[in-house]
Chain A
Amino acid sequence: DAKTTQPNSMESNEEEPVHLPCNHSTISGTDYIHWYRQLPSQGPEYVIHGLTSNVNNRMASLAIAEDRKSSTLILHRATLRDAAVYYCILRRGAGSYQLTFGKGTKLSVIP
């Protein structure tokens, strides 16, 4: 699987937007970009995924660079509940099943 690179940690103030970056310079044309997050003492939770176009859902937005070598997960208004480890994962093809997790970015939200 192609590798992703994320900062180890980030901080945000509550109610401010958060931009979580991910580099994936070796991404292939069939790789989907997935984001999961893991709150303390819980299993990972699906956040969003995309292939080429930017994506929005109720939880977040995903901005994908035109060359697809990087992406950014955007939380529009951070809450304390958003404090978690965020994982950026490349999943090969629509039928691929295996997720390869890195260490992710630990997001702290300051009240």
Chain B
Amino acid sequence: GAGVSQTPSNKVTEKGKYVELRCDPISGHTALYWYRQSLGQGPEFLIYFQGTGAADDSGLPNDRFFAVRPEGSVSTLKIQRTERGDSAVYLCASSTTGSGYTFGSGTRLTVV
């Protein structure tokens, strides 16, 4: 596709449930990033993939958060035992060497 695609666009889940958020990057972009944005704040870095491996996961807030990119393209962000504080917009971006990031429109996660 022409841009970064994120699904679903909106997700409402109950506290304690497990959720998966999907990111489909621009074809050929080897770098993929996940960010989280709370209301009124700028995006906050979570994790960075170069190819299939997580090159930097220092932004993941705790071990309930995990992300994979098994074939070096699509990535899934997984959140276990969701809490109300996890409610935010989760943004995915991809890039190639020397280019700026291209972000998706995000998944708005609401934990009730």
A13–B73 Cα gap in the complex (Å)? 43
Whether A46 and B102, one on each chain, are in contact in the complex, defined by CB atoms closer than 8 angstroms, is yes
A102–B44 Cα gap in the complex (Å)? 9
A82–B100 Cα gap in the complex (Å)? 19
A37–B43 Cα gap in the complex (Å)? 12
Q: Which of A63-111 contact B (CB under 8 A)?
A: 85, 87, 94, 97-104
Whether B101 and A46, one on each chain, are in contact in the complex, defined by CB atoms closer than 8 angstroms, is yes
Cβ-closest chain A residue relative to B89: A43
Which residues of A have CB within 8 Å of B56?
97-98
Give how many B residues have a beta carbon under 8 Å from the other chain's beta carbons: 26
Which residues of B have CB within 8 Å of A100?
45
The contact size tier of chain A is 20 to 34
Cβ-closest chain B residue relative to A101: B42
Cβ-closest chain B residue relative to A94: B98
Nearest CB on A from B48, distance (A)? 5
Whether B103 and A99, one on each chain, are in contact in the complex, defined by CB atoms closer than 8 angstroms, is no
Whether B106 and A97, one on each chain, are in contact in the complex, defined by CB atoms closer than 8 angstroms, is no
Cβ-closest chain B residue relative to A97: B48
Q: Which of B64-112 contact A (CB under 8 A)?
A: 91, 93, 95, 98-106
Interface residues of B (CB under 8 A from A): 4, 31, 33, 35, 40-45, 48, 50, 55-56, 91, 93, 95, 98-106
